[in-house]
Amino acid sequence: MADVVAPELVVSFHYVLRNNEGEVLDSSPKGEPMIYLHGAENIVPGLEKALLDKKVGDKLDVKVAAADGYGERVEGNAAVPRSEFPDDIELEVGMSIMAEGPDGDAFPLWVVAVSDDEVTVDPNHPLAGVDLNFEVEIAAIRAATAEEMEHGHPHGPGGHHHH
Ligand code: ZN
């Protein structure tokens, strides 16, 4: 039984995320904690760092500067012809899509505008440039399975369901 948060452990936690003005931006649904594999960059770096060594039941307030959260905002809006997207994708403002860079690395882009012939994509996460204030309670800690380690994310309730 794992006592404290450490790499190779799957951690569940409840959270409320607020901006510096105190507005709630996001939260885990009641009774459905967020689950992640520690050390696998499943969550923003500043929060992952703060949860290290914490134990079940610990409650903490974590302030994460934008740079350690979803990053600072960068330039790079681009309009892409609608025809470059597969026909079967329903494009909506706010959704993220995976693009492939010149080196073959996949990276996310966010759709910020859609017209009949053009889609405007932005490299900024919607929360880029925003300082994040997390209110966290650790709900559970367990060892990761070999399969979870291989995939780099947790499976089961609250985790990925892709197989
Ligand atoms: Zn998986």
Q: Specify whether the CB–CB gap between 99 and 25 falls below 8 A.
A: no
Expressed in angstroms and rounded, the spacing between residue 113 Cα and the centre of ligand 1 is: 31
Alpha helices in the chain (DSSP H): 45-51, 146-151
Buried b (16+ CB within 10 A) or exposed e, 86-109: eeeeeeeeeeeeeeeeeeeeeeeb
Expressed in angstroms and rounded, the spacing between residue 5 Cα and the centre of ligand 1 is: 21
Expressed in angstroms and rounded, the spacing between residue 159 Cα and the centre of ligand 1 is: 8
Determine the average pLDDT of the residues in 25-45: 95
Expressed in angstroms and rounded, the spacing between residue 163 Cα and the centre of ligand 1 is: 7
> Quick one: pLDDT band at residue 72, thresholds 50, 70, 90?
very high
Q: Is the pLDDT of residue 163 over 60?
A: no
* pTM as predicted: 0.83
pLDDT digit string, tens, across residues 118-148: 999 999 999 999 999 999 999 999 999 999 9
Expressed in angstroms and rounded, the spacing between residue 4 Cα and the centre of ligand 1 is: 24
User: How confident is the prediction for the chain on average, in pLDDT?
Assistant: 93
pLDDT digit string, tens, across residues 1-33: 579 999 999 999 999 999 999 999 999 999 999
Give the residue, 144 or 156, on which the prediction is more confident.
144
Expressed in angstroms and rounded, the spacing between residue 37 Cα and the centre of ligand 1 is: 11
